[in-house]
Structures are given as structure tokens and as C-alpha cells.
Amino acid sequence: MLTTMETDVTRYPHVTVFHDRCAGCEDCVVRCPPVALSMDVGRWIAKADDSLCVGCRQCVRTCPFSAIVVDGPLIVPDRAPVDLHLRPNPLGDRHELRDRLTWDTALAEAERCITCPDPTCIRGCPAHNDIPMFIAAIRDRDLTEAHRVLRQTSVLPDVCSRVCDWDAQCEGACTWTLAGGTAVAIGPLERFITDNQPIPDCVPGGGDADGLRVAIVGSGPAGLAAAWELIEQGAHVTMFERDDVPGGLPRWGIPEFSLPNEIVDRPWPMITRAGLDLHTGSEIGSDDLRRLQDDHDVVILAVGAPISIETPIPGADLPGVESATDFLQRTHAALQEGHTGELTDQSVVIVGGGNTALDVARMALRVGAASAIAVEWLDERYGHARRDQLEEALAEGVEVRFSTEFVTIEGDGRVERVVTATTTQPKAGDTPKTVKGSSRTIPADVVVFAVGYGLDPTWNSVATRSPFRPKAPELFDRRWMASGIFEAESSVGQHSYERHMALLEVSREPAERVWVIGDSLTGAATGTVVAAMAQGIWTARAIIHARSLATADQ
């Protein structure tokens, strides 16, 4: 056994390398962020310098032979806090709740990043943003460079930095998180860049897409990203949006306290100045596809997953029951117009406990509801809501009843109450089971279904592969395995791999001159704003690449 110098493991990390297990593969050496590991060239085994070790345990996670053990603490400062403006009674409040970072806090937080040689945070990000590079640009106080790095993989950093589920993506894959510590504040740092320097314009140019005519159906993150990428490469893009204003789900499905309207509006003047031919109020159905193909070289379907899923609960047809889509659109408009008494003294009960359900509950309180109760049949340990969103909702007065399922909705001509039952769920993958004799009644004036969104069935004949459900294999690519991302206690590694598989899927043409992207392909259950945006960029680049190959063959 080979060990380094004696170390006080209560204060400093200590690395132990087992000679009989080390095969000299150097995985640990090439991935050690502080260069605390090197090779004993005489015996060709790893050796460690405790004085350089920061305790990140990247070596432990990546060693295929379990030849390394690290004891002791993580040598990293505490995470910089982000101030929140939460009120127990948020009536009428439209203001963004999270404060921006100052230069001092941003620089302090950027110093916590140890610039891993094989950064798991990049794999955790659905867009594969080069996170260490834009954080390094912040340290250098060079926000122009930070934007240049982000533009390689993102056109909506201001949106994504606000609405991404960091815990399940970049921050969940941060080396400090994988080591049992607290992640670098990647989301707030990305937002810091966009808060302090304008996002660069969409600049049309002549490239491999010069002269290409593209029709895009849908103006959500996927469609917008595809259009941006194509226009900058010289394509002429026509976009059709059925609503009167563009933006898709970020506009009507995410409340302003999380994503202000000015942020949703920001890219549209840029991209229309660059040449986007935008048609709002234009309903395009599957019957229109042939016409679009006749008029364009390529058609991209980015219609999203706009259909609210409703579970077959008795009483769901009573007046007072509505979908999350209708509720959010209605209350969003009411709040913008200053109508804060839309639900005065009414009790709102929500079917579901995910992010959409919490958005519904928080909006209900903002337009006057006396109470907002989200009913989630999953155990709290396995719920789907973002941790920060759940904490904020509880602080504002939302009640979340985990391990509870809807049984019936009752009322005499209108919703008056709901009957629920208790559930049990021993493990994350288990289907919750109902506890007999556990029924309970909750008074309700409004019931909102917020259990997710489904695909528009009218497009099934075109989007034949939808929804695409990537399934991670039992044996992963060694490049992913060696990164250590699968050592997370959560499923961040598996989900990251599956999101990457979705990016590969959108790079293939599913039908002649027709491409399907975003929630239109994956469904809303696995879709996110950042994943949809990334798919738009990858699809645009795949279209351009296919055109280049076709041109070269001529």
C-alpha cells in the first residue's frame, strides 16, 4: 500500500492509493483538477500529494479499479447566497423574486469552480454549455468572452439561467455536489452575465445555409433556437405561431415572478431585425404540411406538447375544473391587467405536485385565492418539483400534501370538495399504493389539473417517433463512465445521458424534409426549456450539415 504524508484528516484531505489495485491507467491523473495526482514512473502507479488535494474525490469516482480512497473535508468556500423576496401573502406580486448577483459575490462564487479537466457539469447541462470557460471569463471580468462561450451552445442564456432545474442538471453534476458538498452557483452565474451585459444580436450572414428556405411551426424555445442558428448561417426562415404573440410555453406557462415578460420578449426584436418572417395568429395543422413542403426546402415542427393531461377522476367534468394551461393563461392575463381579485376567498386544489402545479398554486395566491393546496401522490422524497421552487411555494403559503391522491371531485352542479386518500411509496421507482380507510375531504371552489402536458394527436401521422423516450443502457460509453457523473446519489447521470441521446435523435431526419424537435419529439414529461433550445440548435446544424453534404455530392 502506498500512502502520502501523514495528514490531519479533520482539517485536510488525505489520499490513499492501493498498489495492488492500481493498474496505471492514469484516469485519475488526467482528471484531477488541482493536479494532486501524478505517476510513479518507476512502478507506474498513481501517487498523491496531499498538500495539493482539495478533497473533490474526482479520482475516487473515476478509478475503474477502486484503487483510491480520499478522507477528510472538501476544501472549498461556502456558496454565495442569493437573496429572495418572498412574502407570506404575495397578492398581486409580479416582481422577479431572486436577486441578481453583485460583482463581488459573482467573483467569489466563480473562485469556487476548480475547472475540472473532464467537467461533469457540462454533461449535466442539456445544452452542454462550456461552464468552466464562461466562469473563467467572469473571473477575468470579461463578459464579452463569457457571451461568446455561451453562444456556442445557447441562444437563451437569460431564460435558461432563470428556469433551469439546476439541481437535476448542471449543479447536480458539479464535482462538489458529487463529492457530497454544495455546487458552484452555475445558474446564478449564467444569469449574472446576461444581467450585466446585453446578449449579442442575431447577426445574419452567408454560410452553408445561404439560400435555404425553412418553415418552422411553433415559436417556443426549440423553434426560436433553430431559427436563430439558421438565420445566422444565411437561411431564410418563416415561422408560424398560433398565438397572437410569440414565445410558447415560457410566455404563458411560466409566471413572471420566475421569468419576467421582458426576458421572454428580449430575443424577438433581435431575430426579426435579422430577417425572421414571423406570422403570429397563424394556426398550422397537419393538413398544411404538404403546402409548407411545396413552399420551403425544409419544415421544422416545434409545436410543443400543448395538451393538458387529465386523469380519469370522477367529477372531472364539473364546472370549476380546468387545465393548468387555461388557468395559467387566465391568471397571467389577470395579473398583468392588475386584476388581483380573480379568485378572492376561493379555495384552489391542484392535481399534481410538480413545477407546473406549484406555479398554479403560487399564481392562485397572487390573484386572491384564500388557499392553494397541491395534492401529490408521490412521496416527498421522490417528488418532481424543483427544490428551490418547493421551498419558495411553501414560504408563500402554498400547502403541498405529498403521499396523497385524488379519489373523486364532488359538488352539486359545481365543484365543492375533493375526496383524497393517503398513499405509500417505499422506493423511488415504486408506484404509490392507496392506504385503505384513509379518505379525507378538502373543500374546493376550483380544481386544476397540473399533471403534465401531452402531444397534439393531430400531428401523430407526421411525428411518428413521438414521443421519443431515450433509455440509458446498462453499460455506458466509457467517456461518460469515466467522468464520474453516475456516482451521484440522484439520477442526474442517467438523465444527462438520456438528454444527450435526444440530441443525437434530433440530428436525424425523421421524414423527407421534415424535422421534429423539442417537446414535439420528447413530450413534456422529459422536456425542459434548455433541452428544447439545445435540440433546436442541434437540428439546425444537422440540417445545414446535410445540405453541405448534398451540395458536395452534386
Q: Is the pLDDT of residue 109 over 50?
A: yes
Q: Is the pLDDT of residue 237 over 60?
A: yes
Q: How far is CA 400 from CA 324, 397, 453, in A?
A: 16, 10, 21
Range scoring the smallest mean pLDDT among 21-25, 36-40, 206-210, 280-284: 206-210
CB 359 within 8 A of CB 372: no
Q: In whole angstroms, give the CA distance from residue 162 to residue 100.
A: 10
Encode pLDDT of 412-471 as tens digits.
999 999 999 999 999 888 999 999 999 999 999 999 999 877 777 777 666 555 577 777
Over residues 199-218, the mean pLDDT reads: 92
Q: What is the pLDDT of residue 462?
A: 67
HSE toward the beta carbon, residue 445, CA cutoff 13 A = 13
Encode pLDDT of 133-143 as tens digits.
999 999 999 99
Phi-psi group of 234: left, alpha or beta (phi > 0 → left; psi -120 to 50 → alpha; rest → beta):
left
Q: Is the pLDDT of residue 318 over 60?
A: yes
- Please provide the DSSP assignment of 207-234 as one string: STTTT-EEEEE--SHHHHHHHHHHHHTT
> What counts of helices (H) and strands (E) characterise the chain?
21, 21
Range scoring the smallest mean pLDDT among 121-125, 269-273, 437-441, 477-481: 477-481
Over residues 317-327, the mean pLDDT reads: 94
Encode pLDDT of 467-478 as tens digits.
777 777 777 778
Q: What is the pLDDT of residue 519?
A: 84
Q: What is the pLDDT of residue 253?
A: 87
Which domains, and CATH codes, for the chain? Answer: 2-71 (3.30.70.20), 103-196 (1.10.1060.10), 213-307+488-553 (3.50.50.60), 311-451 (3.50.50.60)
Over residues 187-191, the mean pLDDT reads: 97
pLDDT band at 511 (very low <50, low <70, confident <90, very high): confident
pLDDT band at 2 (very low <50, low <70, confident <90, very high): very low
Range scoring the smallest mean pLDDT among 183-197, 275-289, 485-499: 485-499
Q: Is the pLDDT of residue 4 over 50?
A: no
Residue 457: CB atoms within 10 Å: 9
- Please provide the DSSP assignment of 481-503 as one string: HHHTGGGSSSSHHHHHHHHHHHH
Q: Which three cell numbers stand for residue 23?
A: 493498474
Residue 140, phi then psi, degrees to nearest 5? -85, 5
Over residues 488-511, the mean pLDDT reads: 86
Over residues 88-96, the mean pLDDT reads: 90
Beta strands in 382-445 (DSSP E): 399-401, 404-410, 417-424, 433-434, 440-443
CB 444 within 8 A of CB 322: no
Q: What is the pLDDT of residue 526?
A: 65
Q: In whole angstroms, give the CA distance from residue 40 to residue 19.
A: 11
Mean pLDDT of the chain: 91
Percent of the chain exceeding pLDDT 90 equals 73
pLDDT band at 35 (very low <50, low <70, confident <90, very high): very high
Q: Which three cell numbers stand for residue 421?
A: 386518500
Over residues 14-38, the mean pLDDT reads: 95
Range scoring the smallest mean pLDDT among 191-200, 263-272, 280-289: 280-289
Say whether pTM exceeds 0.75: yes
Instruction: Name the more confident of 120 and 456.
Output: 120
The residue count of the chain comes to 554
Q: What is the pLDDT of residue 344?
A: 93
Q: Is the pLDDT of residue 29 over 70?
A: yes
Range scoring the smallest mean pLDDT among 332-346, 427-441, 523-537: 523-537
Encode pLDDT of 161-173 as tens digits.
999 999 999 999 9
Q: Is the pLDDT of residue 5 over 60?
A: no
Nearest CA among 161, 170, 283 for reference residue 218: 283
